[in-house]
């Protein structure tokens, strides 16, 4: 009897969690919500307004947010040369570069593309180059 009551409570609690198909963290290929393919986005992050000229961004974290998903983020750490590489599901991603201590300040250069679209599942390209220009606040 005690086990039956616990199972009922567990089922009731799980019913309040909502539709798991709407969460990108629980989506799978079999339910039609997962990526059709995995692609590589690679590039170089450069600080363009450094006093002595452009400089590789070596300590910034680049954040890619999947378009249409408020909770789908992939972070890329740059190496000593400013190079980065991420593997993601095919789709459109917004690039975000902000200072963690002041998140309201946008560090992307004004002429920097803010989105990269890796195309469709029919595209033969699975490697995408996306260089990122960062303008530090004055």
Residue 42 and residue 12: Cα distance in Å, rounded? 45
Do 110 and 85 contact (CB within 8 A), yes or no?
Answer: no
Of 14 and 102, the one with more pLDDT = 102
Query: In the predicted model, what is the mean pLDDT of residues 30-52?
Result: 84
**What local confidence, expressed as pLDDT, does residue 94 receive?**
95
Question: Contact, 35 vs 89, CB < 8 A?
Answer: yes
Q: What is the pTM assigned to this prediction?
A: 0.72
54-102, pLDDT tens digit by residue?
999 998 889 999 999 999 999 998 999 999 999 999 899 999 997 666 6
For residue 123, is pLDDT > 50? yes
Name the CATH architecture for the domain at 35-134: Sandwich (2.60)
Q: How confident is the model at residue 137 (pLDDT cuts 50, 70, 90)?
A: confident
Rounded alpha-carbon distances, angstroms, from residue 2 to 5, 9, 109: 5, 11, 62
Residue boundaries of the structural domains of the chain? 1-28, 35-134
pLDDT for position 32: 61
pLDDT at residue 8, rounded to an integer: 42
Name the E strands within the chain.
Answer: 38-47, 55-56, 61-66, 73-77, 83-89, 92-96, 98-99, 102-106, 115-117, 127-129, 132-134
How many Cβ atoms sit within 10 Å of the Cβ of residue 97? 20
Helices (H) then strands (E): counts for the chain: 1, 11
Q: What is the pLDDT of residue 138?
A: 74
């Amino acid at each position: 009897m005690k086990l039956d009551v616990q199972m009922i409570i567990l089922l009731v609690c799980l019913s309040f969690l909502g539709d798991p198909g709407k969460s990108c963290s629980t989506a799978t290929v079999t339910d039609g919500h997962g990526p059709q393919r995995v692609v590589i986005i690679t590039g170089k992050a450069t600080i363009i307004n450094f006093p002595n000229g452009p400089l590789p961004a070596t300590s910034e974290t680049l954040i890619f947010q999947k378009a249409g998903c408020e909770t789908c983020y992939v972070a890329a750490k740059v190496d000593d040369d400013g190079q980065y590489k991420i593997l993601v599901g095919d789709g459109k991603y917004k690039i975000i570069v902000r200072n963690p201590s002041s998140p309201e300040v946008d560090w992307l250069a004004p002429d920097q593309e803010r989105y990269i679209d890796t195309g469709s599942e029919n595209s033969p390209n699975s490697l995408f180059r996306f260089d990122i220009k960062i303008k530090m606040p004055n």
